[in-house]
Amino acid sequence: MTLLDRLDEVHGLLHEAVLGGAALGWLEPPSRDEVAARLADLDARLATGDAGVRVVEDGGALVALGFWRRRSRPSLAGSAELEKLVVADAHRGRGLGGRLVDALLADAAATGVEVLTLDVRADNARAVALYERHGFVVGGRVPGIVRWGDQRFDLLTMFVRPGLSAALPDATAEHLCGWVVLRRPDDGRVLLARRSGVLYGEGLWGLPGGHVSRGERYVVGAVRELAEEVGVLVDVEDARLLGVQRYEEAQASGVDCFYVAERWRGEPAPVAECSEVAWFDPADLPPDALPWLAGTLRTHLLDGTPFSEVLEG
């Protein structure tokens, strides 16, 4: 089946995304003819190894799509642009965007793409954080070039070398994450969320939180991730720094900042990247929690140690 054979599905996916405010480059949903022309071009490029396309289906229905195209100029033939990455609204928060990026990077490396670039609106913090988690770095910034109604936004150009991690097996990923320990004042229990649709810790209990974006304060990123994942709002001034942990593992290293909050608005519920939430005694976590979580809570929450290091060897 060619992409053009799925024209109605792709057009519907893009139409819904643009109407919902997705920053895909269109001010209005693209026409069916415009989408058809793009798909026909992708089909032709796929046959020559000059494009990569990945889709995600749910029950046979198209729910996510991403693609890159190699640049046509001979002097730039070693590079390609990741042009679109879109996930249906009903399927957001399941890690599908990350799965698409992983697959597209692998395809690019396999076809000899040396550099993969993309453009993203600078205010799209969630997208920037996603790309940074997959190795993209900011190569440039153009102030005020993106027009959306009466508003103007900066445009970031990001890039990654798809085959670099495979060529350098000793390279490690650097992770900067903020986490929130939401604690009930009456009994001291803390909120955990069962991770779902994520690359790390699938099915395990963990704290709400995640990667902070470039230029974003740790505490701002932590409370943002809390709201996105479990629907709870915490004011930055109500999030107290609990501790900082540096760690080094075989293929990853990073610095985690943990914040404790006892005041919030909203009722915790699984919203994104988790399937359920529950309250637990921090001294008696369930056996299927993230393996480092019990020690981290004991060190920073129960013992009051402000800084810790977990180093291999």
What are the pLDDT digits (tens) for 78-90?
999 999 999 998 8
pLDDT tier, 294 (very low <50, low <70, confident <90, very high otherwise)? very high
Half-sphere exposure of 294 (CA within 13 A, CB side): 10
Q: Go through 24-53 and write b for each residue having 16 or more CB atoms within 10 A of its CB, e for each that does not.
A: eeeeebbeeeebbebbeebeebbeeebbbb
Same domain, 163 and 191: no
| Alpha carbon distances (Å) from 224 to 112, 146, 149, 150 | 37, 24, 26, 26
Q: 214 or 82, which is more confident?
A: 82
- What is the domain extent for residue 270? 173-311
- Encoding tokens for residue 110? 């396999």
Distance CA 197, CA 307 (A): 30
Q: What is the pLDDT of residue 7?
A: 96
pLDDT at 291 over 80: yes
- Encoding tokens for residue 264? 């919030």
Same domain, 22 and 157: yes
pLDDT tier, 164 (very low <50, low <70, confident <90, very high otherwise)? low
Closest by CA position to 117, among listed 137, 94, 98? 137
Closest by CA position to 265, among listed 237, 236, 234, 240? 234
Percent of the chain surpassing pLDDT 70: 94
What's the longest Cα–Cα distance across the chain?
67
Same domain, 200 and 159: no
**Total domains, the chain:** 2
Sort strands 137-148 and 151-160 into parallel, antiparallel or unpaired: antiparallel
Same domain, 162 and 195: no
| Alpha carbon distances (Å) from 90 to 16, 86, 133, 158, 200 | 11, 12, 23, 27, 22
Given 167, 190, 209, the domain boundary residue is: 167
Same domain, 157 and 199: no
Q: What is the pLDDT of residue 286?
A: 96
Is-contact 176 209, C-beta < 8 A? no
Same domain, 66 and 207: no
Same domain, 156 and 188: no
- Encoding tokens for residue 204? 């395990």
Mean of pLDDT over the chain: 89
Is-contact 12 18, C-beta < 8 A? no
Same domain, 294 and 190: yes
Q: What is the pLDDT of residue 192?
A: 98
Same domain, 197 and 290: yes
Taken as a whole, the chain contains a residue count of 313
Sort strands 240-248 and 307-311 into parallel, antiparallel or unpaired: parallel
Q: What is the pLDDT of residue 198?
A: 72
Does the predicted TM-score (pTM) go above 0.85?
no
Q: Which residues neighbour 140 within 8 Å (Cβ) at sequence distance 6 or greater?
A: 156, 157
Same domain, 151 and 18: yes
Cα four-point dihedral sign 272, 260, 300, 303 = negative
Chain segment 228-257, per-residue pLDDT in tens? 899 999 999 999 999 999 987 655 678 999
Q: What is the pLDDT of residue 165?
A: 43
- CATH number, domain containing residue 130: 3.40.630.30
**Which ranges in 48-144 belong to alpha helices (H)?**
96-110, 125-133
Same domain, 142 and 263: no
Q: How far is CA 232 from the centre of its chain?
A: 19
Q: Which residues neighbour 265 within 8 Å (Cβ) at sequence distance 6 or greater?
A: 232, 233, 234
Helix orientation angle between 7-19 and 32-47, rounded to the nearest 10 degrees: 120
Distance CA 48, CA 54 (A): 16
- Mean pLDDT over 280-299 rounds to 95
Given 116, 136, 167, the domain boundary residue is: 167
pLDDT at 172 over 70: no
The highest-confidence range among 105-114, 157-166, 184-193, 215-224, by mean pLDDT, is 184-193
Same domain, 267 and 157: no
- Mean pLDDT over 36-42 rounds to 96
- Mean pLDDT over 23-38 rounds to 93
Given 167, 200, 230, the domain boundary residue is: 167
Distance CA 82, CA 35 (A): 17
